[in-house]
């Protein structure tokens, strides 16, 4: 397969509502003849790491959507409001410049925060993955940030880190969830570097980016910025929440009670974007 034929699916951060929206969107696109489950590369950041894992491991989009419509049994309620977002942004911006240094300041804030025990959070993540292990068929990459150094880390099947641990690290929202231990250090949310990390799809011929969050913290590159950069050499489609989806998300993307309306909004939005996604995903290379 040539580089022009290889396909990458990039799934961004966005909390519980973002997970539900992406499942709804993927299921809706499947119904419209656009099957995103056959990606050669899957990049998952934060919420996208959960969605990417389940899709890469062969879970059917419709079943994943239906699970979002059920009562959120066992989910831990949390809040990511304007105040916490401001704290994260301030930690990134106030201090010596440099992307890694800024992320390191966010990491130190996360390490000092009073959160639930790490083992309890890991169990919650494991319940979302239903025993998943690193898939052999797809190249699944999960993003995280070293809480001590601010270094960017991309986990894959060769990393020597269990898949649930990698996903928990990618989902470790600073100040909300505990940093996750692996490789002799602790990791926080990959969205601190970029809410989608779509630049990891460079070199692939066709790229679809699903981005529940359109901005970023501090100097983190927004999905639209990264999509524009990729578009210079790659066929790219970027999907962000429409007005109905934003209303479904509400003010707290970590509220599990918002999952059903968010999933339905994603399912409905699929009809509006299916043609655009099909041109990128199903079209001939160079067409």
Q: Looking at 32-156, list the stretches that DSSP marks H as alpha helix, in order from N- to C-terminal side.
A: 47-56, 61-69, 82-93, 99-112, 118-129
- Supply φ then ψ for residue 284, to 5 degrees: -70, 145
Cβ contacts of residue 186 below 8 Å, gap of 6+? Answer: 107, 111, 146, 147, 148, 179, 180
- Supply φ then ψ for residue 182, to 5 degrees: -170, 145
pLDDT of residue 287: 41
The residue behind tokens 């590369």 is: 41
pLDDT of residue 286: 37
Round to whole Å and give the CA distance between 266 and 279.
Answer: 19
pLDDT of residue 116: 93
Going residue by residue through the chain, which has 287 residues, state the pLDDT in tens, using 9 for 90 and above. Answer: 455 689 999 999 999 999 999 999 999 999 999 999 989 999 999 999 999 999 999 999 999 999 999 987 667 777 765 555 555 655 555 545 678 988 999 999 999 999 999 999 999 999 989 899 999 988 999 999 999 999 999 999 999 999 999 999 999 999 999 999 999 999 999 999 999 999 999 999 999 999 999 987 655 689 999 999 999 999 999 999 999 999 999 999 999 999 999 999 999 999 999 999 999 999 843 34
The b-or-e profile of 242-253 (16+ CB within 10 A means b, else e) is bebbbebbeebb
pLDDT of residue 87: 59
pLDDT of residue 91: 56
The residue behind tokens 């916490």 is: 84
Contact 36, 62 (CB under 8 A): no
Cβ contacts of residue 19 below 8 Å, gap of 6+? Answer: 47, 50, 51, 68, 259
């Amino acid at each position: 397969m040539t580089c022009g034929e290889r396909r990458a699916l990039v799934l961004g951060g966005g909390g519980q509502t973002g997970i539900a929206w992406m499942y709804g969107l993927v299921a809706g696109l499947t119904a419209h003849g656009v099957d995103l489950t056959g990606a050669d590369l899957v990049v998952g950041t934060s919420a996208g790491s959960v969605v990417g894992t389940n899709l890469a491991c062969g879970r059917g989009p419709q079943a994943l959507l239906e699970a979002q419509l059920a009562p959120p049994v066992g989910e831990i309620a949390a809040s990511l409001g304007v105040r916490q977002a401001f704290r994260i942004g301030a930690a990134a911006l106030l201090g010596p410049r440099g992307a890694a240094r800024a992320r390191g300041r966010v990491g130190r804030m996360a390490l000092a925060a009073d959160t639930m025990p790490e083992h309890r959070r890991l169990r919650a993540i494991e319940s979302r993955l239903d025993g998943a292990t690193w898939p052999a068929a797809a190249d699944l990459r999960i993003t995280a940030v070293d809480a001590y150094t601010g270094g960017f880390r991309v986990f894959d099947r060769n990393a020597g880190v269990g898949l649930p641990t990698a996903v928990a690290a990618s989902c470790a929202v600073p100040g909300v969830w505990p940093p996750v231990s692996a490789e002799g250090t602790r990791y926080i949310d990959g969205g601190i570097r970029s809410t989608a990390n779509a630049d990891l799809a460079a070199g692939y011929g066709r790229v679809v980016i699903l981005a529940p969050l359109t901005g970023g913290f501090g100097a983190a590159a927004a999905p639209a910025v990264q999509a524009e950069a990729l578009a210079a050499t790659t066929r790219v489609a970027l999907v962000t929440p429409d007005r109905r989806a934003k209303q479904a998300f509400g003010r707290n993307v970590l509220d599990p009670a918002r999952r059903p309306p968010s999933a339905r909004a994603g399912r409905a939005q699929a009809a509006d974007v299916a043609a655009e996604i099909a041109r990128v995903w199903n079209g001939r290379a160079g067409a």
